Structure 1
């Protein structure tokens, strides 16, 4: 039994992890800084550590057809693109078209931009336009109130053996607070999604305490 053990705070743990991971690419580092200067909610971007994890996931899986729900700045989009083969295609969907100028600034410079197909519309209108081919990987990072709806929408479109990744599934720790069921609608949305995934026997799943929570879902 260990006693008097020093437990570093979360910031120190993250700093250590970053120091022992691949560096943030210069373009993404610039995007990160720009987001913190120009945007109201810069913490909504995936960030350095999670971005490297997304790239690594693609390196290992080598998906050819990807879907992202929630583009925001494009940070996660670019990380997914980094990890995929040259013939991959990534459809990224964002309902807030006010983010388009910010996204395009970095998309135009990104070496993998030809893989990335942005759509500025509601995912429900976009999906029918993308053809019948199944997706190898879906990344969900949009309105937390609609996570269950997004999951039900895309699940039939993911091939067996494909992955669904869902971001923010710990939601700043609000999911474990005693009064969580009485808090805001976004917290309730995340909690409902987490319960949905836990009870879905069509998949295998793990909720990783990476940054704000990343759930990895493998379709049987």
Structure 2
């Protein structure tokens, strides 16, 4: 990542200020998407031009800022966060970054909220939340993602360290097993065409209905 930063340049002043404030002043955990992954999200969003993006796991809004920056003029982002303090913080940072009008921050359980969305109503989904729930998120996201939509999951790098996101006393292998289950399910689905992007934490990008439509990934 040092090499990438040295060649592509540092993050801009707004992003740097948000990151320093969240991690140092507010004491938030440093589990946000890595800088290269965040840039990749912005590029995919800019290229794909989705009208509606749903993000599962806001934290303090670092990835949401990048996604919002890539949206077309008519595009909007709904980002879901279960922690009320993090949701409020994200709302403030999104406004400070000048993209607040494009983003709705929802304080709710992600699976519960996804169940309220119409089928095939979302163009792009980004998952970066509770790792042990990744298989559950896949099942919840699949019906609301439209045919031709893009599903992206962060932290899928083999052998990833999820200790910073695990609850105290949790089985350290549980998160890794859940991530593996997610990747396997996406890989064997005949309705998802997937590829791994080697960012710092690893992104799995899946395109829905690349080929023939058959069964869902369950």
TM-score of the two chains, using structure 2 as the length reference: 0.84
Q: How large is the Cα RMSD of the aligned pairs?
A: 2.1
State the alpha-carbon separation in 2 of the partners of residues 97 and 173 from structure 1: 27
Aligned to 1:39: 27
Q: Which has the higher contact order (CA 8 A, sep 6+)?
A: 2
SS of equivalent residue, structure 2 residue 105: strand
1:131 Cα deviation after fit: 4.7
In structure 1, C-alpha distance between the alignment counterparts of 2:117 and 2:95, rounded to whole Å: 22
Gaps of 5+ in 1: 1-13, 176-181
Secondary structure at the aligned position of 2:55 is classed as strand
Partner of 2:16: 29
Deviations 1:180-201 (A, max 9, x none): xx95211111111111112111
Q: Assess, with a 3 A threshold, how the Cα gap between structure 1 residues 39 and 112 changes in structure 2: closer, same or farther.
A: same
Alpha-carbon distance, 1:129 to partner: 4.4
Q: How does 1:120-199 map to 2 (within 5 A)?
A: 120-131=107-118, 134-170=121-157, 172-173=159-160, 183-199=172-188
- Say which SS state the counterpart of residue 211 (structure 1) adopts: coil
Cα distance, 1:203 vs structure 2:
1.1
Which among 104, 107, 110 is matched to residue 97 of structure 2? 110
State the 1:96 CA deviation.
1.2
Within 1, Cα distance between the matches of 2:55 and 2:155?
14
Confirm or deny: 8 A CA contact 2:196 2:204 kept in the other structure.
Answer: yes
Structure 1 residue 77 corresponds to structure 2 residue 55: no
Larger radius of gyration: 1
- Post-superposition Cα deviations, 1:142-195, rounded to whole Å, max 9, x if no partner, equal 1111111111111111112110000001265469xxxxxx95211111111111
Q: Structure 1 residues 65 and 30 mapped into 2: Cα distance closer, same or farther (>3 Å)?
A: same
Does the CA-based 8 Å contact 1:58-1:83 persist in structure 2?
yes
Between structures 1 and 2, the one with greater helix share: 1
Query: Across the two proteins, how many residue pairs are aligned to each other?
Result: 200
Are the structure 2 counterparts of residues 206 and 133 from structure 1 closer, same or farther at C-alpha, using a change threshold of 3 Å? closer
